[in-house]
Amino acid sequence: MENQIYKTVVIGGGAAGVFSAVKCSEYYPPGRVLLLEKSRKLLSKVKISGGGRCNVTHSCFIPAELVKNYPRGSRELRGPFTQFQPQDTIDWFQHRNVELKMESDGRMFPTTDDSQTIIDCLMDAAENVEIQIGQHVDKILSEKEGFSIHLRSGEIVKTESLIIATGSVKAGHELARSLGHTIIPPIPSLFTFNIPESPLEHLSGVSVEEAVVTLPEFKREYKGPLLITHWGFSGPAVLKLSAYCAKELFNCDYQTIMKVDWVPHISEDKLRQKIAERKQNSEKKTVSNDPIVHLPRQLWKALVQQAGIDGILRWNHLSKSQVEKLLTCLKHDPYQISGKTTYKQEFVTCGGVKLSEVNFKTMESKRVPNLYFCGEVLDIDGITGGFNFQAAWTTGWIAGSHAGGW
């Protein structure tokens, strides 16, 4: 490594770093692009991603639609997605004999259902990249002719251009800060809500296909599948809210009220009418055993109980105030959120290098020439479904192209 000036050095051997190094190496003879990784393993997050299957991307091919899945970065990624988007990811892997398949919800995985397929493919593609593992970058100096990279081992590496792809770790942010960049403080995104002593705890595992979850304090709501867990709530509606309200939830220390509309497709008036009909026509049936909406049976019973309605109470004995309580439980069911839980070990953070300081046509820093960023080191995060890797491939591809002198 010493005594040679590299064309490009990439710091970080995750999805974004490896992808950018591969792209960049296309422009040079072998050995002119160096990748430095502090741990002993490359692509360790790819390995464990998607439950070991690696959710590589999402089958969403219109940039204007795709960006809607990024709570932070949606405006900035619009241009990059016209350069490299999920179809390009599919083609890139297919060109290297890796087929991706789509699941019913749009997530895309290798047909082998094994993340090692993706790792092997990326490592084969990186054959012209010099890779050094166990090399922790401690300091970077920007110089007239490029950069001096100081390693913990004491070695100094020189390069003409530099790509920082250090993910969401603080040490990587410090490297960017030392070069004059602003860091938006990292905070968690993409988590599930804790509801201590939830009255629905015994229904853990029960889900509804479509509910609307609202955080009234932040005036945000999302419609989607909702899953009851033994610690609270999970599922796409909750995960989306957690990502879009990441900052607000962090600021209130994850203590706020959420409300659930369990039957968003039926209006309150319609429900009122259905109840009135039941009171007239089903007087012998108990409320608990005669649901008026399509919900899992145990959930209906729990909501009826939550409304303070006795299990043996018949429809025709339902009082006005009980009707109102039942409507509240169906349409505005309140729960006190108190804390959060990581979603399937998928630690996604928002925060990182401030986006206005980066040129998204090239991924080059607006502050330091020949310095590029890609992946999670930027203040970009996507919701679950393959969007985070797509951001890594896209920004990595562009950074690699331009650092390579495209």
**Minimum separation from the CB atom of position 159 to ligand FAD (A):** 14
Binding residue (CB under 6 A) for ligand FAD from 350, 376, 394, 398: 376
| Residue 121 CA to its chain's centroid (Å) | 23
Among the residue ranges 49-57, 239-247, 255-263, 265-273, the one whose residues contact ligand FAD (CB under 6 A): 49-57
Q: Answer yes or no whether residue 50 interacts with ligand FAD by CB under 6 A.
A: yes
Contact (Cβ atoms closer than 8 angstroms) between residue 223 and residue 257: no
The CB-nearest residue to ligand FAD is 14
Three-state SS at 153: coil
Q: Answer yes or no whether residue 348 interacts with ligand FAD by CB under 6 A.
A: yes
Tokens of 150: 């100081």
Q: Which is nearer to ligand FAD, 330 or 392 (CB)?
A: 392
DSSP state of 22: H
The label of the residue with tokens 């109840």 reads 275
The label of the residue with tokens 């309580």 reads 325
Q: Answer yes or no whether residue 389 interacts with ligand FAD by CB under 6 A.
A: yes
Among the residue ranges 40-48, 73-81, 209-217, 351-359, the one whose residues contact ligand FAD (CB under 6 A): 40-48
Give ∠ CA 92-398-174 in degrees, rounded to 5.
Answer: 120
Among the residue ranges 41-49, 81-89, 239-247, 320-328, the one whose residues contact ligand FAD (CB under 6 A): 41-49
Q: Answer yes or no whether residue 49 interacts with ligand FAD by CB under 6 A.
A: yes
* H helix and E strand count, the chain: 13, 21
Tokens of 58: 């999402």
DSSP-assigned states of every residue in 151-178 = ETTS-EEEEEEEEE--TT-HHHHHHHHH
Q: Answer yes or no whether residue 136 interacts with ligand FAD by CB under 6 A.
A: yes
**Minimum separation from the CB atom of position 202 to ligand FAD (A):** 29
Q: Which is nearer to ligand FAD, 98 or 330 (CB)?
A: 98
How far is Cα 332 from Cα 343, in angstroms, rounded to an integer?
A: 25
Binding residue (CB under 6 A) for ligand FAD from 232, 386, 400, 404: 386
Q: Which is nearer to ligand FAD, 121 or 211 (CB)?
A: 121
**Minimum separation from the CB atom of position 288 to ligand FAD (A):** 41
- The torsion angles phi and psi of 173, rounded to 5 degrees, stand at -60, -40
Three-state SS at 343: coil
**Minimum separation from the CB atom of position 321 to ligand FAD (A):** 48
Report the candidate in 264, 215, 13, 241 with the shortest Cα–Cα distance to residue 119. 13
Residues 147-166 contacting ligand FAD, CB under 6 A:
165-166
How far is Cα 61 from Cα 82, in angstroms, rounded to an integer?
A: 10
Q: Which residues bind ligand FAD (CB under 6 A)?
A: 11-17, 36-39, 44-45, 48-50, 54-55, 136-137, 165-167, 169, 171-172, 345-348, 375-376, 386-389, 392
